[in-house]
Amino acid sequence: MSATPDASMQHLQPYQVRGPQSAPRAFWGTTIQPQRWSAIQRYTPPGVPILDLGAGRGAYVEALGSLGFSVVGVDVYRYPEWHDRPQGIFVNAAASDLPFDDKRFHTTISFEVLEHCPEPHLVLREIARCTTDRLIFSVPNCNLDNALRKYNLALFHWTDPTHCNFFTKDTLQSFLVQENFTVLEMTDAVQIIPNNYFWDTLRIPRRAANVMKKVCKRLNLVETYWSSILVVAEIPGSR
């Protein structure tokens, strides 16, 4: 199955989790990530109906709704912010059993969701059933091969027990082709600069830490990683 780790990753073990397992839910869906937002703008015609699968607290739903899109946000959890969002509609449902009519949406967006789904092929088929044209989504980048360990850092993907799929670009491409999706674009997203975490841990004023981050970046003293794979794909049969 293309959603499982490849042989080069079998030896990797996640760092021990510290703190509550539910911590990421506290901020999920509160911000707009630049590469994801750019993909939505480039591939989605104005005003079309959009499904945000795994909407979290609804940042994309609200932002897209304010631009005139008809947006529905879906998540397996309920969030109190749903009642306060002036734009969009929110539905509590599982990704593998969506409560929508066939071809209800032009585009589905789904960021960092498939890695949580025990049967990701069923999720893709549900997306294809209720979407006419585009799927724009991201998953954690397992091509990274946990390189941040040398900085004593670990991406949450390696410590989150709810993650059950580990995609590389190659396995993700194969998985999508297997489900008859046509990949239009596959790029890196969500930049990580380990140097920034170093300055944040020091007991120095925040302004001084920000200055040092900029100096290190200008002098090319930092390494950059990308934590996610961003994909734009055509829905099967959309042409």
Q: What is the pLDDT of residue 86?
A: 72
The answer to whether 92 touches 75, Cβ cutoff 8 Å, is yes
How many Cβ atoms are within 10 Å of 231's Cβ, its own excluded? 25
**Cα gap 113→123, rounded to integer Å:** 10
Q: Which comes out higher in pLDDT, residue 15 or 121?
A: 121
N- to C-terminal Cα separation, the chain: 27
Whether 8 shows a pLDDT value over 60: the answer reads no
How far does Cα 93 stand from its chain's mean position? 18
Tens of pLDDT, residues 70-92: 999 999 988 888 887 777 799 99
The whole-number pLDDT of residue 93 equals: 94
What's the CATH number of domain 7-191+227-234, 3.40.140.10, 3.20.20.150, 3.30.450.90, 3.40.50.150?
Answer: 3.40.50.150
The residues, any chain, with a CB within 8 Å of residue 213's CB and separated by 6 or more, are 193, 195, 196, 199
What are the structural domain ranges in the chain? 7-191+227-234
Percent of the chain with pLDDT over 70: 81
Quick check: 169 pLDDT over 60?
yes
Compute the distance between CA of residue 127 and CA of residue 67 in angstroms, rounded to an integer. Answer: 23
Q: How far apart are CA 153 and CA 51, in angstroms?
A: 34
The reported pTM is 0.81
Average pLDDT over residues 141-156: 68
